[in-house]
Amino acid sequence: MIAVSETGDGRHASWLDSGLAIARRTRGLTMIALPAPVAPAASLVAAWPKEIAVAWTANSEVLVGIGAARELRGLGTRRWSEIASAPIEIGAAVVEGVRVAPTSLGLARPRLLGGGAFVPGAADLPPWTGFGDAWFVLPRWLYASDGSHACLVLAVDSDDAIHATRWRDELAIHRDALASRVGARPQPPISEVARGNADDWRRQIEAITSAIGSGACEKIVAARSIEIAFSGDTKPADLLAALDERHGECVRLLVRPTGGASLVAATPERLVRRDGMEISCDALAGTGTDGPEALLASAKDRHEHMLVVDAITRALGDVSDVRVPDAPVIRKLRHMLHLHTPIRAILREPRHVLDLAARLHPTPAVGGTPASFANEWIARHEAPRGWYAALVGWFDLEGNGELAIALRSGVLAGDRAYLWAGAGIVAGSQPDRELAETESKLRAMLGAVGAGA
């Protein structure tokens, strides 16, 4: 573990130079870990507005990747296995100028950050240009904090290491950013909000309930999007800071694969986490605003929720021993309530977290039941979702990691924001109630960009 240090920039530069000297004579990547203060993700994202960036904040854990030492892309149905099996050679690790084993880096260990589209091919068009089917980055600079300790890690190979002046200059930018503590600031004034056609939404819900009534499916998650135009370019770092202030109970995410458009989210749903042989998953489905008792008593919402629990249990049952609570609990968010079942499992043999993700996603919480019918319906009746309701997170070189589902999300591109929200449609769903549910879910992002409470 790297301890917080108040040593000056001169010592950090000296440690950096020592690490670069090792990197120049080492095959593969060298990870140079330096002490850093605890700070919010938005501070670093704001300092690098044109760079590749990925940020993850969950409770006290903060990960921020800036730039790319290595990029991995996966395509089509094999996208997750292509990413998981890609070789990453770590030749050395250096902490405070001293060479150590890469496996002893702890908080500073190499991690790849990124995610993938809802389904292959869903992120081929604007505003998702550059996102693709699946993309992960081993950051040039990784900032990692557990809330009490923090570190900044530079990844360089022997060719990179000769550019010492560049890395000293970039270290100085990072240290200034970590000291700046960026807070929430408003986006440019809003000039237009396009919410789509409510009648089209009602017709879509009626068509889904008709398919359910005929026995073709049990559930389809319908999504709608709205487009917001601003008087100037949007500011992803400021939106991330606003989500930190407003939705600390959620996982806050930012993904910018090319230095262009940015996916930003405050999602309540972490799909899967792997720590060694231990697995944890969230089943989150069934939504209400009328109070916990009403939601727990709703047969419709309990049925919708159990479809998700059953799907996760089946997906993990082949590879692990699964433990499921007898009944859901209430997950309270700023604007609504959800039924929540925390699911735990023990793997029978090691499996990469991306392998688990491929088994699980999309669950009926974001797709439907049966999955094949629901996914085909979504593809025929909705604009491509891109990375909305898709997986975003991180993994290390041992296959541990955590992935969340990009709900309560939007993509910022130039002077536009595109926001998404969905509702699970089952027997008994009413179009106007489902429309109101999506409006409630959109409030998470609308409030953060200045278009609501």
Give the catalytic positions in this structure: 219, 269
* List of E strands, 276-356: 278-288, 320-323, 329-332, 337-347
Question: 186 burial class (0-12, 13-18, 19+ CB within 10 angstroms)?
Answer: exposed
49: left (phi over 0), alpha (psi -120 to 50) or beta: alpha
DSSP letter assigned to residue 30: E
DSSP letter assigned to residue 102: G
Q: How confident is the model at residue 158 (pLDDT cuts 50, 70, 90)?
A: very high
The pLDDT tens digits of the residues spanning 78-134 come to 999 999 999 999 999 999 888 888 777 899 999 999 999 999 999 988 999 899 999
Q: How confident is the model at residue 1 (pLDDT cuts 50, 70, 90)?
A: very low
pLDDT for position 13: 82
The pLDDT tens digits of the residues spanning 22-74 come to 999 999 999 999 999 999 999 999 999 999 999 999 989 999 999 999 999 99
Helix, strand, coil percent values for the chain (each to nearest 5): 35, 35, 35
pLDDT for position 453: 64
pLDDT for position 3: 32
Residue 301, pLDDT > 80, answer yes
Inter-helix orientation angle 431-449/236-246, to 10° = 110
64 three-class SS? strand
- Give the other-Cβ count within 10 Å of 277's Cβ: 14
Question: Mean pLDDT throughout 282-291?
Answer: 88
The domains of the chain, with CATH numbers, are 9-110+138-180 (no CATH), 190-449 (3.60.120.10)
- Contact (CB, 8 A) for 320 and 349: no
Residue 260, pLDDT > 90, answer no
pLDDT for position 137: 98
